[in-house]
Structure 1
Amino acid sequence: MNIKSAEFITSCPDYESVPDSDIPEFAFIGRSNVGKSSLINMLTNQKDLAIVSSKPGRTQMINLFLINDSWTLVDLPGYGFAKISKSKQEEFHEFVSEYLTSREQLRCVFVLIDSKIPPQKLDLEFCQWLMECSIPFVLVFTKTDRAKKGGVEKNIAAFTEAMSEWCDGLPRIYQASAKTASGRGPLLHFIDQAARAR
């Protein structure tokens, strides 16, 4: 897939504000500071489509981007905010959950995992919740260029082993680096195939 156009549509403070659409949507989510905005910019080949911040929890609304006039990239608030109040966290989790469980146009969720660190409880719990809700998802292990040699494979193996305790079939797994653009081709190919599927 070649990205010919990528434009910001809108930011929504709640699920009710998300505009109606009849084209496929692909949502990106992960723990705060997992490199989500950087990955989105890398995939779309634009430097500032999604705002990159050094402060965790920058994305606090549902952000929608129209790609190639044919599918929508949905940038969701991360989970596990360290710098905001508990009530605000609950508010985010509520409308993100509503979007994920109710949006008919949603084809797949891309769950971003930091490849540099061992499996985190929050990531595993979120994946388990997606499976319980029958929401299709894939795993994208980010920041692979910054991991120690052999560390990515070790952390992926540990993550999938932890998932196997409650998961019969594992989701697709991708590795990506926003810095080197590795993983861009396979991810866009998957989106292209999923968008075409009926």
Structure 2
Amino acid sequence: MHIARVIFGRAGDGRDRKHLSTRSLNAIDLTISAEMLESALSFANGLFNAFEARGHTVRIEPRSGFIRPALENWSRPPDRTSHIPLALWSPVAPTIATISGVPVGLAILEISKEVEMRYMGNGKFDRASSTRLVDGITWTEWQRAPAGRLKLVAYSPHHPAPWRREWIEARRNSLGRMAQAIVGELEAEAPTLPHAGYFLRRPGGGPVV
């Protein structure tokens, strides 16, 4: 994870000003705030090692013909901010685990939550519950904020075969303990995925580019 740590350590804010953004071809698929970077890297390292210990490769796949669909970072659909378009970072190239010849895309996202915020002046907001005094005009509005919990999304990287599976942390750092179980579930499911037949029929697997 050294390369990923360097890449995201140098990353700037994304369009939503909440998550890190980089255009590096070597970036693993992390949609994450700066505060959660180390936790996300630790989970990714444990998960990727669990795949590789069972004989499944995990690679970043630029110019491979694989797709990475638009993903959401909600644990449940938004209520008060549903009118705000998503502006999440997505990688230049997908992160792909190849499980017994079947490619599965992997993305790790930090969950967002809806928070009521109060305008404090000079373009800054604070929690509406804050007791800080405001000098001048103020108002409150609902915004999205990183929640400090992770979601893993496994998806089909082959068009047009839709498939997606999610694992969401109930509490911070709980996904790391599930890495072995997640790999086991995907091993069992991989041969039955909508796009599996395409790859299992081709000698050596891999997409037609």
Q: Answer yes or no: same fold by TM over 0.5.
A: no
Using structure 1 for the length normalisation, give the TM-score. 0.32
TM-score normalised according to structure 2 size: 0.31
Q: Which has the higher strand share?
A: 2
- For the pair shown, the structure with the greater C-alpha radius of gyration is 2
Instruction: Give the structure with the higher percent helix.
Output: 1
